Structure 1
Amino acid sequence: MTLPTSHSKTHHSHTQNTPKTTDVSALASPIPQQAFDWYDEYAHGDIDRRTFLSRLGTLSIAGLTLSVVAGALTPNYALAEQVSFNDPDIIASYVEFDAPRGHGKGRGYLVRPKNVDINNKAAAVLVAHENRGLNPYIEDVARRLAKAGFIAFAPDALFPLGGYPGNDDEGRAMQRTLDGSKIEGDFMDAATLLKNHDFSTGKVGIVGFCFGGYLANTLAAEMPETINAAAPYYGTPAKSNIDKIKAPMQLHFAELDQRVNDTWPEYENTLKANQVTYEAFIYPQTNHGFHNDSTARYDEKNAELAWQRTLNFFKETLRA
């Protein structure tokens, strides 16, 4: 993929792939958009679970019970594995790292291609999770990157509290208790670890989803000498130092995600003003979280298109 020299216009994606036929995606069509919007509010702490379920109960959804709809919107991680944890082409482990800018110590999931070593180095990609800790979907994203030839590292912001608890609701509640600036510090130190890793070329990218999209934007702004490429998915802009961004950016947005999309025009103007190389893609009729293949928000054709764009972007920008 050839990147533009300064910036590019926002694109709308189109693809003709056949959607995946799983129980979750089969339910996606009859669920009203209001339910997805309410789930987004719930997932981001704007309403509690009781209010979310109460609202769902007001909907008239032919043939679907409240429990079925709520279940379809809640992650089922058995559906999310695309690359097995014991795939013979990768080596995965959990590693701890020093995080002086964050909580002092961090822990994450490190995955590399089996053929990468001190004599055959690879570019590295930091994977930033959503607002609920290092869940199985994010671990799978790290494995997908390793299968594509990158060293991938996915830190767990919940490590200071014992790590991802195995439940997204509890994970969200836990993450809300942490100091956001220290979480950012943990991920910054994780990026430094990747830059200096013995098997790394020193080129570091970051991809993040939801809260992780915000982290991708933030690290690009706060670590312009470390981050060489950033691919935020439906993430809000950094709170400061946007004018310091040097890395090429590839931004992915869901068309129906008004909360995040409202932040884009001003952010885009800043990127243009600072001559940042960027691409922005808006995926039609998709909801926030469309890349996460464990819920009814998943949109396979657009998720696969976005992911292929992301891999091409990193292959282009992280070349030694």
Structure 2
Amino acid sequence: MALETKWVQYGENQEYTGYLAKMDHVKDNLPAVIVIQEIWGVDAHIQDITERFAQAGYLAFAPDLYAKNGNRIEELRVERVEEVKAFLDSLPHTVWNNPEERQQALGELAEEKQNRVTKTFERMFGGMHSSNYIGQLLATSSYLREECGVSKGQGVASIGFCMGGALSALLACRDPQLKGAVIFYGNAPSEEELNHINCPVYGFYGEHDKRISDNVPAFAEQMEQNGKKFDYQIYKETGHAFFNDTRASYNVKAARDAYQKVLTFFNQMLVPEN
């Protein structure tokens, strides 16, 4: 059976845009999975993940957090984001967060390209905060539960990657009706925020992604102390972005295991027992 995919407008004033995928010809109401982007946006990889969950029997929906009223600002246009991604991929990963070495590499680019990459990099990595996106994510879960014909009245869960992983956790803090949240290598919410979590949370991390994975045990302890359900997996000899099969960081064994666990989790959270 083929997939039906499309971009849709939603929100109180139709100001938001999202990529929707479901199995073609399926008429039953489907539980919904919100797929929350990496910092690169709803690119081909995120669209592919969205389609995978559609093939698994869900209404899958990836909100484009960089678009308003159907358009992106100049610095976040798809080609500009891809240019930054290509620049960073040309460097050792250790350089990404080293301003001096990164600036040295930027200085080797042609002036016009250097200006474009710098502006988009600063916009993506320096000027974005989770609070900028939580309104759209809450509107997304509301749309899927209350307005989208295919998923109306059904449960909604979330999954996010890197930036989106942190946002998936934050959505669990802010949406009391969310059925479950999955974090892939994203930062944990504050302890004050996690007090409001009402659904189970599942996290997946890489051992070598120290900036994030070293904080997971403390996050787990906070969740336990606050009576929240949190399971997690830290994969040995694995780094950041191990689920992204378009990047050099992809780890097929970790990705395969995590995907199977996520499908089981969503089935438990979203599909009522007969």
TM-score (norm 2): 0.77
Residues 1-320 of structure 1: matches in 2 within 5 Å?
Answer: 88-98=1-11, 105-117=15-27, 120-160=28-68, 161-162=72-73, 164-166=77-79, 167-168=81-82, 169=84, 173-176=122-125, 177-178=127-128, 180-196=130-146, 197-200=148-151, 201-225=153-177, 227-239=178-190, 240-320=192-272
Which structure 2 residue ranges, 5 or more long, are not aligned? 85-116
Q: Partner letter of residue 208 of structure 2?
A: L
Residue 277 (structure 1) shift: 2.2
Displacement after TM superposition at 1:180 (Å): 3.8
How much does 1:205 deviate? Answer: 0.7
- State the superposition RMSD in angstroms: 2.0
SS, match of residue 155 in structure 2: strand
How far residue 181 of structure 1 moved from its aligned partner, in angstroms, is 1.5
Give the whole-Å Cα distance in 1 for the aligned partners of 2:122 and 2:48.
23
Q: Distance in 2 between matches of 1:172 and 1:121?
A: 41
Change (3 A) 1:178 1:302: closer
Q: How many residues align?
A: 227
Q: 1:296 to 1:134 in 2, by over 3 A?
A: same
Contact 1:133 1:172 in 2 (8 A): no
Any runs of at least 4 consecutive aligned residues in structure 1 with deviations exceeding 6 A, and if so which? Answer: none
CA deviation string 1:71-122 (max 9, x = no partner): xxxxxxxxxxxxxxxxx5211000111168xxx72111011122432xx111
Counterpart-to-counterpart distance in 2, 1:213 and 1:311:
16
After superposition, the Cα gap between the structure-2 partners of 1:151 and 1:172, relative to the gap in structure 1 and judged at 3 Å, is: farther
Q: Distance in 2 between matches of 1:175 and 1:99?
A: 26
The answer to which structure has the higher helix fraction is 2
Per-residue CA shift, 1:159-209, capped at 9, x if unaligned? 032565133326655444456422121112111111122221420010000
Q: Is the 8 A contact 2:46 2:62 kept in 1?
A: yes
Letter in 2 for 1:156: D
Task: Give per-residue Cα distances to partners, 1:204-228, cap 9 Å, x unaligned.
Answer: 0100000000001000011122x10
Q: Deviations over 1:99-153 (max 9, x none)?
A: 68xxx72111011122432xx1111000001112111100000000000000000
Identical-residue share of aligned pairs (%): 28
- Structure 1 unaligned residues grouped into runs of 5+: 1-87
The residue number in structure 2 matching 1:21 is none
Say if 1:188 and 1:219, in contact at 8 Å, map to a contact too.
yes
Q: Is the 8 A contact 2:11 2:139 kept in 1?
A: yes
Residue aligning to 2:98: none
Cα distance change, pair 131–186 in 1 and its aligned pair in 2 (3 A):
same
Letter of the structure 2 residue corresponding to residue 188 of structure 1: L
SS of 1:241's equivalent? helix
2: CA distance between counterparts of 1:173 and 1:199?
38
- Tell me how far apart the structure 1 counterparts of residues 124 and 11 of structure 2 sit (CA, whole Å): 20
Change (3 A) 1:286 1:244: same
Q: Is the 8 A contact 1:90 1:112 kept in 2?
A: yes
Q: After superposition, give the CA deviation of every residue in 1:7-42 in whole Å (9 maximum; x if it has no partner).
A: xxxxxxxxxxxxxxxxxxxxxxxxxxxxxxxxxxxx
Contact 2:213 2:234 in 1 (8 A): no
